[in-house]
């Protein structure tokens, strides 16, 4: 074993309290010398009654107990520890030829057992293993407490109108919206296609002091390059062949309100310079005019593209990126906010059900599980389309597996590496597969994380870390 591992084990053992419970004084003496040599803090009790008094005063993390003792034997001690819910790990010392007692002890809550006469190496291994279990339980408790504090910190956050979501990631987005909305600062919204970036932008407008002003959305990738300057900035009469009259652009239309530049990554480089000048000076100049006009507009931009990579490639101006990126809101993909899927499903069923005259349609348990497990490369937009399709095809008031698209039912239990669109990141693909396998292992073990870790062939500690990282519940 390396010196680094030895140091780690020593830190782990130091301060751990072991209570030796046995009426055999020489056995207790032997075990005390062994455990103290390896940095454990050791105390002793001659029977179960004395042990309970000691534990009631908080005097033990690990109990190493014999079976046959006066006043209260080892099994009765186990029952008392279980009934009082004392936070200790119990290792029973069972006679070599009495396996039935060892099994009974395990049923009563013992974490492990060793056979008498005891072997020092076996005792040390069992106690050290109990230390590791204690540490993992404490880490899990810490993570739960941290998660609870995060949720408590999110309490009272209002959900902007039109947005569905109660997950922690979405509540962080809502908190950012509440903080940023009152100011004129430019906001850049990042997220995959179909995640609801426009809803976030609209929420910023609705929650701001400009909510009574104009809301002007424009898709930068949907306007031909030769028309986009005129669309944004307007034009004077005669500025070009079809300019039959003076016309204000969309920026002027948004005066006093909010201009939403969707898919800003598709904005031609030639227009990026003009947009940057407007953002810096608050002034626009119509095509064909020499005089500028002051405009009061709050700009919110969004894109599904990797803008820093575009800056590196020279297809997006760095100065414009930093001017847009005053505040960034990252909208999580649906696969990272799975807890919102049932609510989204019911929302879309109500919305389309009312239009189609089927307002009371529900989803079977099996179908909902498949919807939850599917990776949703098209995000909320794909889920919405799937629900509309299911309502059209369903023969009854309950949507079942046969009503869902084949891509959903056929891929629900497989890694979704082929579904990531144009993203070739091995790192992202690995993370997605990890999340899928962890969820499936937890489902298979009914949430038992220890068994799930064995199925995944990783340590319990590693599993707890990944559950926290991916916010799996």
Secondary structure of the chain as H, E, C letters: CCHHHHHHHHHHHCCCEEEEECCCHHHHHHHHHHHHHCCCEEEEECCHHHHHHHHHCCCCCEEEEECCCCCCCHHHHHHHHHHHCCCCEEEEEEECCCHHHHHHHHHCCCCEEEEECCCHHHHHHHHHHHHHHHHHHHHHHHHHHHHHHHHHHHCCCCCCCCCCCCCHHHHHHHHHHHHHCCCCCCEEEECCCCCCHHHHHHHHHHCCCCCCCCEEEEECCCCCHHHHHHHHHEECCCCCCCCCCCEECHHHHCCCCEEEEECHHHCCHHHHHHHHHHHHHCEECCECCCCCEECCCEEEEEECCCHHHHHHHCCCCHHHHHHHCCEEEECCCHHHCHHHHHHHHHHHHHHHHHHHCCCCCEECHHHHHHHHHCCCCCHHHHHHHHHHHHHHHCCCCEECHHHCCHHHHHHCCCCCHHHCCCCCCHHHHHHHHHHHHHHHHHHHCCCCHHHHHHHHCCCHHHHHHHHHHHCCC
User: Which pTM does this prediction carry?
Assistant: 0.58
Model confidence at 153: pLDDT above 60: no
- Residues 87-106 pLDDT 10s: 899 999 888 767 788 888 88
Model confidence at 16: pLDDT above 70: yes
pLDDT of the residue at 467: 83
Given pLDDT bands bounded at 50, 70 and 90, which one contains residue 312?
very high
- Residues 196-208 pLDDT 10s: 999 999 999 999 9
The arithmetic mean of pLDDT across residues 368-372, rounded, is 88
Where does CATH 3.40.50.2300 sit in the chain? 3-144
pLDDT of the residue at 4: 40
* Fold (CATH) for 335-470: Helicase, Ruva Protein; domain 3 (1.10.8)
Just give the CATH number of 168-332: 3.40.50.300
Pairwise pLDDT comparison (160 vs 77), residue with the higher score: 77
Where does CATH 1.10.8.60 sit in the chain? 335-470
Does 3-144 carry CATH code 3.30.70.1400? no
pLDDT of the residue at 261: 95
- Residues 162-187 pLDDT 10s: 788 888 889 889 989 999 999 999 99
The arithmetic mean of pLDDT across residues 278-284, rounded, is 91
pLDDT of the residue at 446: 67
Pairwise pLDDT comparison (302 vs 450), residue with the higher score: 302
Model confidence at 244: pLDDT above 70: yes
Model confidence at 414: pLDDT above 70: no
pLDDT of the residue at 173: 92
């Amino acid at each position: 074993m390396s010196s680094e591992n030895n140091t780690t084990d020593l830190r782990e053992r130091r301060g751990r309290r072991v209570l030796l419970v046995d009426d055999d004084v020489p056995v207790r003496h032997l075990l005390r010398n062994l455990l103290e040599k390896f940095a454990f803090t050791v105390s002793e009790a001659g029977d179960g009654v004395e042990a309970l008094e000691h534990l009631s005063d908080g005097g033990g993390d690990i109990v190493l107990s014999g079976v046959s003792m006066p006043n209260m034997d080892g099994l009765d001690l186990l029952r008392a520890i279980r009934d009082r819910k004392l936070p200790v790990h119990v290792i029973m010392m069972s006679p070599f030829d009495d396996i039935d007692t060892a099994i009974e002890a395990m049923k009563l809550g013992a974490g492990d057992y060793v056979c008498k006469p005891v072997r020092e190496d076996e005792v040390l291994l069992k106690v050290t293993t109990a230390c590791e279990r204690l540490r993992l339980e404490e880490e899990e408790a810490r993570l739960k407490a941290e998660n609870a504090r995060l949720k408590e910190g999110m309490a009272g956050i209002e959900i902007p109108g039109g947005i569905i979501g109660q997950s922690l990631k979405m509540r962080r987005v809502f908190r950012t919206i509440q903080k940023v909305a009152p100011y004129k600062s430019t906001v850049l919204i990042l997220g995959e296609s179909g995640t609801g970036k426009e809803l976030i932008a609209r929420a910023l407008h609705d929650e701001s002091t400009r909510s009574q002003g104009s809301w002007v959305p424009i898709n930068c990738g949907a306007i031909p390059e030769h028309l986009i300057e005129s669309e944004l900035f307007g034009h004077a009469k005669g500025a070009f062949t079809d300019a039959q009259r003076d016309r204000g652009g969309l920026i002027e239309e948004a005066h006093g309100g909010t201009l939403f530049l969707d898919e800003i990554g598709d904005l031609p480089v030639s227009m990026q310079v003009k947009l940057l000048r407007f953002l810096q000076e608050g002034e626009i100049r119509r095509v064909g005019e020499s005089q500028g006009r002051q405009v009061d507009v709050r700009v919110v931009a969004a894109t599904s593209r990797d803008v820093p990579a575009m800056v590196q490639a020279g297809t997006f101006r760095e100065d414009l990126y930093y001017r847009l990126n005053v505040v960034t809101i990252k909208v999580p993909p649906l696969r990272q906010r799975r807890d919102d899927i049932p609510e989204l499903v019911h929302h879309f069923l109500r919305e389309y059900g009312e239009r189609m005259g089927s307002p009371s349609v529900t989803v079977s348990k099996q179908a909902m599980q498949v919807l939850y497990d599917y990776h949703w490369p098209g995000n909320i937009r794909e889920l919405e389309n799937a629900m509309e399709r299911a309502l059209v095809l369903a023969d009854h008031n309950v949507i079942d597996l046969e009503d869902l698209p084949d891509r959903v039912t056929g891929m629900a239990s497989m890694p979704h590496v082929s579904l990531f669109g144009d993203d070739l990141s091995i790192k992202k693909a690995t993370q997605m597969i990890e999340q899928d396998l962890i969820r499936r292992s937890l489902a298979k073990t009914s949430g038992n994380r220890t068994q799930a870790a064995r199925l995944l062939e990783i340590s319990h500690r590693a599993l707890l870390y990944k559950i926290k990282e991916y916010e799996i519940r």
